Amino acid sequence: MISLNKAVAVVLLIIPSFSQAEQVDPQTGLIIDQGFDTVKKQCTVCHSAKLIVQNRATRQGWMETIRWMQETQGLQQLDQDTEQEILNYLATYYVPEAQGRRSPLVIDQWRPYKAN
């Protein structure tokens, strides 16, 4: 039988994911808010939006990803307004410390597995 404490803990874990009522675009998986249309238009031409949704970066990190794609992957230059809108969107929803999302694992805290 599940103890009351465990049941309460489970409920507390579940509640925040429901109360965070972000609208998600079923086609791309991207959160629908300011900048979404632009990101959908500019950033899903060459690859799935999953590459975005599964990534977390700071604003600076996103900028570097965009520069990297421009330098090596054929992404066109974006005009200033478009780029700012994309960065605002990404830096709101796809940042490492985004609320309600698990923070990234810190790899150097891993320990090698030792069998007994």
Chain residues that interact with ligand HEC, rule: CB under 6 A? 42-43, 45-47, 51-52, 55, 65-66, 69, 73-75, 86
Residue 46 near residue 73, CB atoms below 8 Å: yes
Cβ proximity to ligand HEC: between 16 and 29 the closer is 29
Can you state the percent helix, strand and coil of the chain, rounding each to 5? 50, 0, 45
| Residue in this structure with the two tokens 């429901």, named with its chain if needed | 18
Min separation Cβ 74 and ligand HEC, Å: 4
Cβ proximity to ligand HEC: between 6 and 67 the closer is 67
Task: Count Cβ atoms below 10 Å from residue 42 Cβ, excluding itself.
Answer: 16
Residues in the chain: 116
What is the rounded CA–CA span in Å between residue 89 and residue 76?
19
Min separation Cβ 9 and ligand HEC, Å: 34
Cβ proximity to ligand HEC: between 6 and 47 the closer is 47
Min separation Cβ 72 and ligand HEC, Å: 8
Cβ proximity to ligand HEC: between 81 and 116 the closer is 81
